[in-house]
Homo-oligomer: A and B are copies of this chain.
Amino acid sequence: MSSPTQDVPSPALLRLADRLRRLIGAAKVITDPGQLRTYECDGLTAFRVRPGVVVLAEHRDDVVATVRMCAEQNVPFVARGSGTGLSGGAVPVADGVLIVLSRLRRIVSVDPDNARIVAEPGVINLWVTQQAAPHRQAYAPDPSSQQVCSIGGNVAENSGGAHCLKYGFTVNHVMGAEVVLADGAVVHLGGSAPEHPGFDLLGAFVGSEGTLGVVTQVTVRLIQVPEAVQTMLVGFRSVEDAAGTVSDIIAAGILPAAIEMMDALAIEAAEAAVACGYPDGAVAVLVIELDGPSIEVDENFRQVHALAGARNAFEIRIARDGDERALMWRGRKSAFAAVGRISPAYYVQDGVIPRTRLPEVLAEIDRLAAVAGLRVANVFHAGDGNLHPLILFDDTVDGAVHTAERLGFEILDACLAVGGSITGEHGVGLEKKAKMADQFSADDLAAMQLLRCAFDPAGIANPGKLMPTPRLCGERPGVRVGAPDPALGEVF
Contact = CB atoms under 8 A, between A and B. Distances in A.
Interface of A: 19, 22-23, 64-65, 68-69, 71-72, 113-115, 136, 158, 160, 168-169, 171-172, 181, 183-189, 191-201, 203-204, 206-208, 212, 224-227, 247, 250-255, 292-293, 295-296, 298-300, 352-356, 384-386, 419-425, 427-428, 432, 436, 439-441, 443-448, 450-455, 457, 466-467, 476-482, 485, 487-488, 491-492
Given A188-B444, A419-B191, A444-B189, A199 B452 contact: yes
A93 to B, nearest CB: 20
Contacts of A451: 199, 201, 204, 451, 454
Contact of A384 (B181, B194, B356, B443): B194
**Chain B CB within 10 Å — which of A197, A448, A466 has the most?**
A197
B192 A354 contact: yes
Contact of A480 (B185, B224, B454): B185
7 contacts: A68-B481, A113-B356, A172-B172, A183-B478, A184-B479, A195-B424, A225-B253
Given A253-B225, A384-B194, A423-B195, A447 B204 contact: no
Total identical chains:
2
Contacts of A492: 19, 69, 72
| Chain A to chain B: the 8 pairs with minimum beta-carbon distance, closest first | A203-B203, A296-B296, A454-B454, A224-B253, A185-B480, A450-B454, A19-B491, A295-B299
A69 B487 CA distance: 11
B200 A171 contact: yes
Nearest to A476: B457
B195 A425 contact: yes
Contacts of A168: 172
A195 B439 CA distance: 12
A197 B293 contact: no
